[in-house]
Chains A and B, each alone.
Chain A
């Protein structure tokens, strides 16, 4: 038990260390015991059940603004075995062009979300 608590503290201390080098979308679920630290994610110390969804948007370079993005995401989870994970990610010039086109935005939204209770398949 002492080891688990120590690892838990280490994971919390390490959480968020360093500068992100990647744009990241994450959905994860654990059942059981989970002890983790992370350089590009979140630390955790968990018994039982946990579900995490998060995004990390990096700066385009050190000291500069966050990256330019136009994104759509849909995550549907029903228990452990029914997970749908849809992501549309555009960045840079592509993101600017897409954001200026309402028709394209509508089309992407339809392709990712589908308008139902689950994600578009």
Chain B
């Protein structure tokens, strides 16, 4: 009970002070999709707590994160040649509602983040803290992944493009 009360008070504190926990609070959360991936874009000001195993952290200041998840059922008939010839085809032009996106416990295949202020990290890539500005761009694929993954990120224009092709269709 004490633990539940502590959590309740912590969450209430974050809301009242202009802070956010995952997708709740003072945070902008937008989802986009293309044929093979989802893009999750988050931006938060103030205190932001992420409890995700991928980017678990507590940031005081400003944070902006883009995460690319493969679609669980990727039925698109994509080929390497078609993607390379039409790079615009794997941009994220279509915004979708959060309830249409099912990410379950998937780890993203790629993400970019920029934090300004004080950050405390507790994730596999970083356990520690940063005071200042930090930016991180990561592609991570499971070691049994068999296929093709393409990822483009341009920080100055906040543009993300990505595509996943499973091995059976990778040509």
Q: Is the CB of A60 within 8 A of B144?
A: yes
In the assembled complex, B87 has its CB within 8 A of some CB on chain A: yes
In the assembled complex, B140 has its CB within 8 A of some CB on chain A: yes
Select A41's contact among B112, B125, B149, beta carbons within 8 Å: B125
Give the interface size class of chain A: 35 or more
In the bound assembly, the distance between CA atoms of A39 and B125 in angstroms comes to 6
Known pairs A28-B134, A33-B132, A37-B127; A91 contacts B155 (CB<8 A): no
In the bound assembly, the distance between CA atoms of A25 and B26 in angstroms comes to 31
Please count the residue pairs between chain A and chain B whose beta carbons lie under 8 angstroms apart in the complex.
174
In the assembled complex, B96 has its CB within 8 A of some CB on chain A: no
B113-135 interface bits toward A, Cβ cutoff 8 Å, 1 = contact, 0 = none: 00000000100111111111111
Q: Is the CB of A29 within 8 A of B151?
A: no
Identify the closest chain B residue to A118 (Cβ). B154
Q: Is the CB of A27 within 8 A of B136?
A: yes
In the assembled complex, B150 has its CB within 8 A of some CB on chain A: yes
Residues on B with C-beta less than 8 A from A84 are 152-155
Known pairs A26-B137, A29-B135, A104-B81; A92 contacts B145 (CB<8 A): yes
- B binding-site residues for A, Cβ under 8 Å: 80-81, 84-85, 87, 110, 112, 121, 124-156, 159, 165, 167, 170-171
Q: Which 5 A-B pairs have the closest CB atoms?
A: A32-B132, A92-B146, A36-B128, A94-B170, A83-B155
